[in-house]
Structure 1
Amino acid sequence: MAQRNSVRTVIVGAGVAGLAAAVRLAAGGAAVTVLEKEGRPGGKLRTALVEGRAVDVGPTVFTLRDVFDDIFAAAGERLDDHLTLERSETIARHVFSDGSRLDLFADAARSEEAIGDFAGARSVAEYRAFCARARDVYETLAPIFMRAERPSGPLGLVARAGPTGLPAILRIGAQTTLWKALSAEFSDPRLRQLFARYATYNGSSPFAAPATLMLIAHVEQEGVWLIEGGMHRLAEALAALAERCGATIRCGADVEAMETRAGRATGVRLAGGEVVPADVVLANCDAGALSDGLFGEAARRAVDPPIQRSERSLSAFTIALAARTEGPDLLRHNVFFSRDYRREFDRILSGRALPDDPTVYVCASDRDGEGALSAEAAQAGTERLFLIINAPADGDFRPFSAEEVERCASAAFSRLAESGLRVAPPPGSMHRSTPSDFARLFPGTGGALYGRASHGSTASFRRPGARTRLKGLYLCGGSAHPGAGLPMAALSGKIASDAILADHASTRASRPAAMPGGMWTRFRPTEPSG
């Protein structure tokens, strides 16, 4: 076991970033306490109970598994000893408003064959060129941006790339939008719409986000993984790993304010009045919760002012249900596209309204990588579905009325029906979440699920880094560098833990040592004292 040092660390929030940091810090010898206001760890990795069955109602796509392999390796363990992962043979099914359908596969040759049948030989050649460009963008940005501390700005990124990397930086497309780049890449408008969807992976519009987001296509091509038991099992496994490393996880512990003395964070105060002292506080929350003053004046001044409403990422309207389906079989991941993509985003971001003809993402969690239905779902006669519809992050500005929500839900099911998929949920069985619900769940966000939108060439550089202006207060999570999504949030936890350990290197009693492996155990939530 790693020897303990003098760095008492309190992590506020047990989302993926906070748990990833807890593992690395505890394995590095720090005394770590994680405080989570909800009844279980996971943050956005949540579940809802529908018809007596748990449905994942947070992130549904698991990529860049090496990021999570590294977290377990930092503790001397293996991810595969605690989670059962299967690489999906399919990436996603895409259904267009004209009734056409295209599946993309883990095997690039299968995808090329499918695109050839769908759109012809010219589109195959365009797809190959696009994949090469997406790979180039990823390989350029991964080591100097995504997996590194936040650069000072575009010039800082160029400096990191060095003389040999400058040509690559210049060709990655940061100065043009994803939609413009795709319009030049693909002659078939349906393929433009398909790959434009990747902008929504970090809550952005393809008509305003930089072309660099095409790298997400390469990330998915490298592997989409299915977690046996559901995505929430990832949070359970990370929480158990953190505890095996010596971290303490306290659920039901609602942090009310940061404690400071002499211009330095000295701990936190819980809603019940208990003070938890610390040398370091790591806030695994949206940066907006700090800048809005939800943790006190000192924390508010530690970060930049709140982002403007127009700068927020997308929110979502989601529906979880267990239903009978009729029509074409689903895969695990399915996208049903609207007729007019530009109009859809204009309505959301300019009109600040739920879409009346939405693109609907459907996660069919009872389907395997080839679309086969689980025996349990087949016996039940219903399958678990989770629908995600893009929405404006206005949850703190206005309520979303029952009438507006009902119209959007009807439009979503109409979109599925027009594509031949009929969904028949039992009455009253749906679990819905609106931007107003997300604003309550994640304070300081207004319902934005991804922090700042990646609109414009410099937006990514304006995400906060791990260090804040208040000594001893650090930041991680999807609103911080390098951005939103499970692997990016986990990387933000690594970057923050590296910064904490580096800043306190002189006080460490010994070099970090790995925690030996052990059997999987569930996290042990404890009630806050005092």
Structure 2
Amino acid sequence: MKTVSGPTDHVVVVGAGLSGLACALHLLGAGRRVTVVERDAGPGGRAGQIDLRGYRVDTGPTVLTMPHLADEAFAAVGDSLHSRVQLVALHPAYRAHFADGGSLDVHTDGAAMEEEVRRFAGPAQAAGYRRLRRWLEHIYRAQMRRFIDTNFDSPFQLLHPDLARLAALGGFGRLDRRIGHFLSDSRLRRIFSFQALYAGVAPARALAAYAVIAYMDTVAGVWFPRGGMHALPRAMAEAAADAGADMRWSAEVNELERSSGRVRAVRLATGERIPCDAVVLSCEMSTAHQLLGRSPRRPVRLRHAPSAVILHAGTDRTWPGLAHHTLSFGNAWERTFDELTRTGQLMSDPSLLITRSTTHDPTLAPPGRHLHYVLAPCPNTAVGPSAAAWRDLGPRYRDNLAAELERRGLEEFGASVQEELLVTPLDWTAQGHAAGSPFSVSHTFAQTGPFRPRNLVRGLDNVVLAGCGTTPGVGVPTVLISGKLAAARVTGGLPRRPLLAPPPSAARNVPASAVKGSHDPS
């Protein structure tokens, strides 16, 4: 594995999102002196939180899987995720509602999910689910250590027996076809293939290898941190500070001082100069490219994932059919993905993710109120409406979205809203997200593994990249890994860890029913 050259005693990490904080913790654990520089007033990056007149709103991801990857970063400095964050294991992980009126609870416990599939679709589909679950476990084992949790220096690193294992598992076929090999019910197939959207690719075109995301969602387990998802980066920042990191808030970097192929110092907008031996850029990739003065040279332009419209709604009521996470599927499926990735149209029959964080933490809203997060995928600005067009389009789309939710059983949703925040590609663009997408570069074959933008910077001996735009990719688990991989480029080593997460225990993972103040109207 290639590493940065020369001294690495003092490392400046630019950006205090999940990848930057994970990187800082691993660097601190390896004995480096670390300064974290963040332009915002506190940690989080994409996983931020704002106070919307009494509603504490997570501005980024709402689904936490593979928390042992975060715990690994805490462990690097002798700390523990579970001593700082109370995690609630979600049962069910999701509830799925379909256009035909059917409903299915998605359990990560195998026996519970098999019984639910039997109830929903019969014994043949339950048997298919058993086979699918075993296949997902094999897919995960074949990929995680060799192709996800690794630094690539050359595509030739793919030439390993694990590649043959992945091929034998059908990992290079198409995702929807492979899922269909186990499940003939089209509704069930959606449960295990919608995750391809996280990777920015339609299930009909995504590699079956991307089922590793379905493994994380439907087998490994889903958790909720009390205090919201922002509790995770907040705890990571506190652990880093306690381990000796110099945390600089409201500090924007506007220049990298270079000489002889190395960055010698980071200069802030205030004029302050911070000397360093190495730099990790975990900020937005567009910001990193501006600081570097160039973008990576590639034979084909980077393609970005679809974007999303998010409606944060603080309401005076909730609806008993909702779980913590609810997937509301429209009748359309393939057409929806064509609209998102090819024709650039808004979804004519949308599939939505609805998260009700107050299900397990009522303190996120004023007493007697509820907080709902509605995510509607939409085309990015490279294939769909421009960022500027969303200035007028956004309010109309918000009203259409509220009307659609009411048609799907959330009666009087619009009238129940007390406070709201609408986020569209216009806002994502203003935050520096290329193509107006918070999901960064899509995971086409040409943008995955060794073909994804590398985390080493050509022409600079001591600069490393971290975050969802570089290896290994998009999503909370992979971003945490990205921070660890960036640290390894500096320190020269990766810790060996168990391939699979340790089993949950009552002392570490709190069941939903045991959380004081939790309430689930469902």
* Same topology, TM > 0.5: yes
User: In the aligned structure 1, how far is the partner of 2:16 from the partner of 2:473?
Assistant: 17
User: In the aligned structure 2, how far is the partner of 1:500 from the partner of 1:176?
Assistant: 36
User: In the aligned structure 2, how far is the partner of 1:312 from the partner of 1:458?
Assistant: 10
- Residue 526 of structure 1 is matched in structure 2 by none
Cα distance change of structure 1 residues 307 and 404 upon mapping to structure 2, 3 Å threshold? farther
Q: Are 2:273 and 1:237 equivalent residues in the alignment?
A: no
TM-superposed CA distance for 1:176, in Å, is 2.3
Deviates more, 1:407-416 or 1:217-226: 407-416
Q: Are 2:440 and 1:451 equivalent residues in the alignment?
A: yes
Q: Are 2:191 and 1:201 equivalent residues in the alignment?
A: no
Q: Equivalent residues in 2 for 1:182-201 (5 A)?
A: 182-201=179-198
- Residue 127 of structure 2 is matched in structure 1 by 125
Q: Equivalent residues in 2 for 1:379-398 (5 A)?
A: 380-394=367-381, 397-398=386-387
**Unaligned residue ranges in structure 1 (runs of 5+):** 504-530
User: In the aligned structure 1, how far is the partner of 2:315 from the partner of 2:359?
Assistant: 13
TM-superposed CA distance for 1:93, in Å, is 0.4
- Residue 28 of structure 2 is matched in structure 1 by 26
Q: Are 2:353 and 1:361 equivalent residues in the alignment?
A: yes
TM-superposed CA distance for 1:326, in Å, is 5.5
TM-score when scaled to structure 1? 0.85
Cα distance change of structure 1 residues 90 and 491 upon mapping to structure 2, 3 Å threshold? same
Cα distance change of structure 1 residues 137 and 116 upon mapping to structure 2, 3 Å threshold? same
Q: Secondary structure at the match of 1:207?
A: coil
**Unaligned residue ranges in structure 2 (runs of 5+):** 1-6, 494-522
Q: Equivalent residues in 2 for 1:10-409 (5 A)?
A: 10-150=12-152, 152-153=154-155, 155-159=156-160, 162=161, 165-220=162-217, 221-291=219-289, 294-297=290-293, 300=294, 303-304=296-297, 308=301, 311-325=303-317, 327-368=319-360, 374=362, 380-394=367-381, 397-409=386-398
Q: Secondary structure at the match of 1:380?
A: coil
Question: How far does the alpha carbon of each residue in 1:193-226 deviate from its partner, in whole angstroms, 9 at most, with x for none?
Answer: 2222111233332232211111222223222112
Question: How far does the alpha carbon of each residue in 1:278-309 deviate from its partner, in whole angstroms, 9 at most, with x for none?
Answer: 11010002334334xx2142xx26x3359736
Q: Percent identity?
A: 29
Say whether the 8 Å CA contact 1:18–1:284 is kept in structure 2: yes
Question: How far does the alpha carbon of each residue in 1:380-430 deviate from its partner, in whole angstroms, 9 at most, with x for none?
Answer: 333101111112221895413344223432333333223322224556721
User: In the aligned structure 2, how far is the partner of 1:411 from the partner of 1:365?
Assistant: 23
- Residue 518 of structure 1 is matched in structure 2 by none
Amino acid at match of 1:321: A
Say whether the 8 Å CA contact 1:203–1:314 is kept in structure 2: yes
Amino acid at match of 1:244: D
Question: How far does the alpha carbon of each residue in 1:488-518 deviate from its partner, in whole angstroms, 9 at most, with x for none?
Answer: 1111111111110129xxxxxxxxxxxxxxx
Cα RMSD (Å)? 2.4
TM-superposed CA distance for 1:375, in Å, is 8.2
Cα distance change of structure 1 residues 136 and 417 upon mapping to structure 2, 3 Å threshold? same
Q: May I ask how many residue pairs the two structures share in their alignment?
A: 482
Q: Secondary structure at the match of 2:65?
A: coil
User: In the aligned structure 2, how far is the partner of 1:234 from the partner of 1:151?
Assistant: 31
Q: Secondary structure at the match of 2:60?
A: coil
Q: Secondary structure at the match of 1:340?
A: coil
User: In the aligned structure 2, how far is the partner of 1:166 from the partner of 1:209?
Assistant: 17
2:429 maps to which of 432, 436, 439: 439
TM-superposed CA distance for 1:75, in Å, is 0.6
Amino acid at match of 1:199: A
- Residue 527 of structure 1 is matched in structure 2 by none
